[in-house]
Amino acid sequence: MSIKNKNILIGITGGIAAYKIAELVRMFKKEGANVKALLTQNALQFITIKTLETLTQNDVYVNQFKEAQTTVHISLEDWADVFVLAPVSANTISKIANSIADNLLTSVSCAILGTKTPVIIAPSMNVNMWNNKYLQENIKKLSERCTIIEPDCGYLACGDNGKGRLTEPKTIFEKTKEILDKNKPLKDKKIIITAGGTKEKIDPVRFISNFSSGKMGLALADTAYNLGADVHLICTFDTDKNYKVTKVQTALELKEELDKDFNNCDCLIMASAVADYRIKEYNNNKISSKDENLTLEFVKNPDILQEICKNKKKRQTVIGFCLGTEDLIQKASEKIQKKKCDYIIANEAKTALGTDENEVWIIDKNLEIKKIDKNSKTNIAKKILELIYD
């Protein structure tokens, strides 16, 4: 199983075994994963920020009160595909088992434990601390939600011999890959995603389009693929992916591709910006620019989303998008009632077009609304895709 492009957050607490995490980071990076490190203040006694910055090629997080954004624990929670805590001290285990969030690492831990993100805990401590009955009660409590990689037996840094030594980085590495492979809720699901603004041709050299970049649709396709889906991206731009990609230009070409494949899919996400109108008569030759004024006649394009929804089966989910500049929620609510899709994702032009971030409102058939605050389009995509497998 490949972990390429997976987001792995590593939490490091104070203990001599922290030096081993440099090797673990190297293993993840060699496989193409994105890695970020999160440390307690005491962990800095055993491994440096500079070492981890160099290895991860990312900022290292230590003190929540010194970070640029006060909600950094939420951004890290949203970013991570898996959270690996290694080495974890008895002190930190007891804190997160009892929801004590008094530093950035425990804040992130408590936040992630409230989500579906997998958590791996690899403890390291003195043998007598490991055998402490209260510590074992906390381990048992966390094992209901987390994967616990118990420490190895052997000679310990304190001079004792027994159970407490951090398991080898290779073991943590393999367990992380195994868990990421299992954590694919969209496995065996076929999902079609459309992306980008259509181009309606005027003549051989001119067309009418819009400002849609296709970034939201691309984020949805990449995320769905990483979650195990069989993805078919129908887009208006060139992109090289490990899943199926079909390039189209016009609304009619998009409709033609959807007509071919929709019956075979479990879910369609219409994130593309489809032109409402096309030129009535295409000019085979370039239109002369000698005239002061030019009049073009337009005709309405088919309402692809509405037509699709008329033919969808009960097992299929259709998610549409609504982009607006005013009265967004009202117009999106009217749109879902008219189109009869399962969800509408409402977003504003000023925050959505051409950006790497977005904020959206998810509206369902009962007109219940859930807002997702401004975040990266990848994290927004994760939240949208939860609609399919929750």
What pLDDT, in 10s, does the model give residues 356-383? 888 899 999 999 999 998 888 888 998 9
Amino acid 328 reads: L
The total number of residues shown for the chain amounts to: 390
| Residue 260 neighbours by CB distance under 10 Å | 12
Average pLDDT over residues 35-39: 96
68 pLDDT exceeds 60?
Answer: no
311 within 8 A of 275, measured Cβ to Cβ: no
Task: Among 137-141, 160-164, 222-226, name the most confident range.
Answer: 137-141
* Measured torsion, CA atoms of residues 189, 237, 276, 307, in degrees rounded to the nearest 10: -20
Q: What is the pLDDT of residue 5?
A: 84
Give the tens place of pLDDT for each residue, 6-20: 899 999 999 899 999
Sorted by where each begins, the domain ranges of the chain are 7-182, 190-389
105 pLDDT exceeds 80?
Answer: yes
Strand-pairing partners, residue 279, are 298
136 pLDDT exceeds 50?
Answer: yes
Order across the sheet with 267-270: list the strands.
244-247, 230-235, 190-195, 267-270, 317-324, 343-348, 357-364, 369-376
Residue 356 C-alpha from the chain's centroid = 13
Average pLDDT over residues 78-96: 94
pLDDT category at 72 given cuts 50, 70, 90 is low
Of 235 and 63, the structure prediction assigns the larger pLDDT to 235
Strand-pairing partners, residue 201, are 207
Give the three-class secondary structure for 240.
Answer: coil
Please identify which of the residues 146, 153, 158, 322 carries the catalytic annotation.
Answer: 158
Q: What is the pLDDT of residue 163?
A: 82
Nearest CA to 346 out of 338, 330, 357 is that of 330
| Residue 136 neighbours by CB distance under 10 Å | 11
254 within 8 A of 195, measured Cβ to Cβ: no
- Residue 309 among the catalytic residues: no
pLDDT category at 388 given cuts 50, 70, 90 is confident
Q: How far is CA 379 from CA 120, 141, 223, 337, in A?
A: 21, 29, 9, 27
Give the three-class secondary structure for 37.
Answer: strand
Q: What is the pLDDT of residue 73?
A: 59
Q: What is the rounded CA–CA span in Å between residue 56 and residue 36?
A: 6
pLDDT category at 325 given cuts 50, 70, 90 is confident
With pLDDT > 90 as the criterion, what percentage of the chain qualifies? 67
Mean pLDDT of the chain: 90
Q: What is the pLDDT of residue 242?
A: 85
What is the DSSP annotation of 257-297?
HHHHHGGG-SEEEE-SB--SEEESS--SSPPP--SS-----
What is the DSSP annotation of 359-382?
EEEEEETT--EEEEEEEEHHHHHH
70 pLDDT exceeds 70?
Answer: no
Residue 390 C-alpha from the chain's centroid = 15
Q: What is the rounded CA–CA span in Å between residue 268 and residue 352?
A: 20
Q: Which residues are within 8 A (CB) of 129 and not within 5 positions of it... i.e. 6 or more apart?
A: 90, 135, 164
CATH superfamily of 190-389: CoaB-like (3.40.50.10300)
- Which of 6-10, 128-132, 152-156, 219-223 has the least mean pLDDT? 152-156
Q: What is the rounded CA–CA span in Å between residue 105 and residue 93?
A: 11
Q: What is the rounded CA–CA span in Å between residue 61 and residue 49?
A: 9
Q: How far is CA 291 from CA 153, 170, 178, 249, in A?
A: 87, 72, 67, 28
Average pLDDT over residues 88-108: 94
pLDDT category at 69 given cuts 50, 70, 90 is very low
CATH of 7-182, one of 2.60.120.260, 3.40.50.1950, 3.30.70.1170, 3.20.20.70: 3.40.50.1950
Give the tens place of pLDDT for each residue, 261-293: 999 999 999 999 999 999 998 888 888 888 788
| Residue 257 neighbours by CB distance under 10 Å | 16
Question: Do 7-182 and 190-389 show the same overall fold?
Answer: yes
pLDDT category at 116 given cuts 50, 70, 90 is confident
Of 182 and 198, the structure prediction assigns the larger pLDDT to 198
Q: What is the rounded CA–CA span in Å between residue 157 and residue 241?
A: 48
Q: What is the pLDDT of residue 131?
A: 92
Q: Which residues are within 8 A (CB) of 76 and not within 5 positions of it... i.e. 6 or more apart?
A: 9, 36, 38, 61, 108
Give the three-class secondary structure for 200.
Answer: strand
341 pLDDT exceeds 70?
Answer: yes
